[in-house]
Amino acid sequence: MARAQNFVRKYVPKRSVQTQNDATEARAPQSQGPASLMTNSRHIAVVDDDREIRTLLTQFLEKHGFRVSAVADGRSLRRILATQRVDLVVLDVVLPGEDGLTICRRLSTEAQLPIIMLTGKSDEVDRIIGLEIGADDYLAKPFNPRELLARVRNVLRRWELAPRKPDVQEASTYRFASWTLDVAARELVGAEGARQVLTGAEFRLLLAFLSHPNRVLSRHQLIDLTSTRRTELFDRSIDVRVSRLRQLLGDQNGAPRIIKTVYGDGYVLGVTVEVG
């Protein structure tokens, strides 16, 4: 309670705070404006074991146009993620049962959604670990709600602009130039029907390009799109893999026409892609 009172005294105008039970908090708030405002608003899940902080953050974020579900633990968050679309999670490190770092690690492998961690002011190790296992940003308590709002908006903006990892179930084939990628078989099919089995690295890299045609992808973006939990890639390793992929496609490194180099920025798939 002391933690919540400090939060209230320092940053929140004096007013009555009505506490709610978790079932009420987890429901979507009632719209006070046009129906389209709530329909189009981003949905944020706040996970904090302090009821008063949950209530305050819910009121503040809703005031600025967000839809909020506030819960006390990882189990309640699972229920929300199973039934609703969530655009961002604000996640406290210290939670009953499953702690915030464990939840962050699980979400980074199970879902593609941004996470902002809330940590104690002196918990530098937790902040570093959180960023390493997949958190997009962190904020130390006590904090100004306006700073949280700014970080939420910035993370959502970055998330919208960043390319997403392709879902192998979204398409069965990609046709480009004179080639077809058979997604299920992970095979590259030539114009005359000859099949070339791709390695895992070759498949992920080609799929990243085909999922973002005519879009420049930096080396760092390609690392994010193609790396797995068991691999660690570096900028120059991407250059080597692009060179090998060009050889498979018969795309001359000296004058490539399929995967083109954008000097200083990265690479771009410069041909039309048909998805089947």
pLDDT, position 160? 72
Q: Does 65 share its domain with 127?
A: yes
Task: Using the 3D structure, point to which of 161, 186, 206 is the last residue of a domain.
Answer: 161
Q: For residue 158, what pLDDT is reported?
A: 78
DSSP-derived pairing of the beta strands 88-92 and 115-120: parallel
| C-beta separation of 44 from 66 below 8 A | yes
Does 57 reside within a domain? yes
Q: What is the pLDDT of residue 114?
A: 87
Which pLDDT tens digits describe the chain residue by residue (276 residues)? 455 545 544 544 433 333 334 444 444 444 344 333 333 489 999 999 999 999 999 999 999 999 999 999 999 999 999 889 899 999 999 999 999 999 988 887 777 788 999 987 666 777 777 777 778 888 888 899 999 999 999 888 877 766 655 554 566 899 999 999 999 888 999 988 999 989 888 998 999 999 888 888 888 888 878 765 434 455 577 888 899 999 999 997 678 999 999 998 899 999 999 998
Residue 151 and residue 203 in one domain: no
Q: Are residues 138 and 207 in the same domain?
A: no
Give the residue numbers spanning the domain of 76: 2-161
Looking at the fold, whether 129 and 37 belong to one and the same domain comes out as: yes
Q: Quick one: DSSP state of residue 265?
A: T
How far, in Å, CA of 187 to CA of 169, rounded? 15
* Co-location of 61 and 155 in the same domain: yes
User: Residue 148 belongs to a domain with what CATH number?
Assistant: 3.40.50.2300
Q: Provide CB contacts within 8 A for 70, sequence distance 6+.
A: 25, 26, 45, 46, 47, 48, 54, 55, 57, 58
Q: What is the pLDDT of residue 162?
A: 60
Whether 167 is in a domain gets the answer no
pLDDT of residue 32: 40
200 and 264 both lie in a single domain? yes
In a domain, 144, yes or no: yes
Residues 15, 147 within the same domain: yes
Distance CA 257, CA 199 (A): 23
Give domain status of residue 168, yes or no: no
Q: How many domains does the chain have?
A: 2
| Cβ pair 154, 161 in contact under 8 A | no
Do residue 69 and residue 93 come from a single domain? yes
What pLDDT, on the 0 to 100 scale, is given for residue 189?
Answer: 95
